[in-house]
């Protein structure tokens, strides 16, 4: 497992990159022609939910990029092999805390991986379909886009490879101030990092909301952390009742 600080920094950078238009890149995807590794205004969200279905498997994720360096995710997995829920939080990009209900294959910091990858995939599909970003969206808009290059989404610890030919269909609509509701269906062939493509077609469906407030929200100090596990090297058994208590112990500056 990678050191916590390195993971935290990489995770925050992965979801907060400077916006540019989606472009093909041979550096981030498989050969021979490179892959589409998108970036742009859709990646600048502060809050995103994703309900993902593929066959009998269903996953629900929530990702909050808070003020400062806070990053919070929620996981709800329901598939034939396991069922479980989890919450995970990076406090000021330094301290990782989490709680798990039921059974999940991920543990500790790895609980961040699937939600972050899902967020990257949703932002990628929206960026490919609407490269000008959310500012250009004023009404319910149909989404139809297709391609013949791999779509690659990356996080600090995971990548997904959606092989061609692929297509994305769906809709996106304004949903309150600075927020949007989306429904997307991605049809693709599973791929590998080396550029291999399976001879079968898969449909993966995404639905949820994504928000772009002018300022990222500060997670409330009264957020309960009772029963959460603190992943602090050399400090086994450390715990706090609330996020505010944890912040004060870490010396995180209060809201001005």
Alpha carbon distance 171, 157 (integer Å): 30
The count of other CB atoms within 10 Å of the CB of residue 131 is 17
Give the least confident one: 149-163, 200-214, 234-248.
234-248
Per-residue pLDDT, 114: 94
Per-residue pLDDT, 197: 92
Q: Is the pLDDT of residue 131 over 90?
A: yes
Query: Vertex 193, ends 133 and 30: CA angle to 5°?
Result: 65
pLDDT, mean over the chain: 86
CA 1 to chain CA centroid, Å, is 19
Delimit the domains of the chain by residue range.
Answer: 4-250
Dump the DSSP string for the chain. ---HHHHHHHHHHHTSPPP----EESSSS-TTT-EE---SGGGG-SEEEEEEEETTEEEEEEEEE-STT-EEEEEEEESSS-EEEEEEEEETTTEEEEEEEE--S--GGGGGHHHHHHHHHHHHHHHHH-TT-GGG--S-EEEEEEESSEEEEE-SS-EEEEEEEEEEEEEEEE-STTEEEEEEEEEEEEB-TTS-B-SS-EEEEEEEEEE--SSPPPPPTT-B-TTPEEE-TT-TT---SBHHHHHHHHTPPPP-
Closest to 252 in 3D by CA, of 116, 110, 46, 89: 89
Per-residue pLDDT, 255: 65
pTM comes to 0.88
Tell me what the mean pLDDT of segment 188-205 comes to. Answer: 93
Q: Is the pLDDT of residue 2 over 70?
A: no
Q: Tell me the per-residue pLDDT of 7-32, one tens digit each, with 9 for 90 and over.
A: 444 454 455 443 333 444 545 666 66
Per-residue pLDDT, 243: 95
Tell me what the mean pLDDT of segment 95-114 comes to. Answer: 91
Tell me what the mean pLDDT of segment 156-170 comes to. Answer: 92
């Amino acid at each position: 497992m990678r050191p916590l600080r390195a993971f935290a920094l990489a995770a925050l950078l992965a979801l907060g990159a400077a916006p540019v238009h989606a472009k093909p890149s041979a550096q981030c995807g498989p050969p021979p022609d490179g892959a589409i590794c998108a970036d742009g205004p859709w990646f600048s969200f502060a809050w995103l939910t994703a309900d993902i279905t593929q066959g009998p498997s269903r996953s629900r994720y929530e990702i909050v990029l808070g003020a400062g360096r806070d990053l919070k995710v929620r996981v709800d997995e329901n598939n034939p092999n396991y069922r479980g829920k989890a919450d995970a939080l990076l406090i000021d990009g330094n301290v990782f805390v989490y709680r798990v209900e039921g059974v999940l294959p991920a543990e500790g910091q790895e609980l961040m991986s699937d939600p972050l990858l899902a967020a990257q995939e949703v932002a990628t599909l929206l960026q490919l379909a609407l490269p000008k970003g959310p500012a250009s969206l004023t009404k319910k808009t149909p989404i139809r886009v297709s391609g013949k290059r791999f779509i690659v989404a990356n996080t600090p610890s995971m990548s997904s490879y959606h092989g061609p030919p692929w297509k994305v269909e769906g809709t996106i609509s304004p949903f309150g101030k600075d927020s949007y509701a989306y429904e997307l269906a991605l049809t693709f062939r599973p791929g590998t990092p080396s550029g291999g493509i399976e001879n079968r077609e898969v449909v993966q469906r995404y639905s949820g909301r994504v928000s772009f407030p002018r300022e990222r929200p500060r997670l409330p100090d009264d957020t309960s952390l009772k029963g959460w596990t603190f992943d602090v090297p050399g400090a086994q058994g450390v715990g706090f009742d609330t996020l505010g208590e944890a912040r004060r112990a870490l010396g995180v500056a209060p809201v001005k």
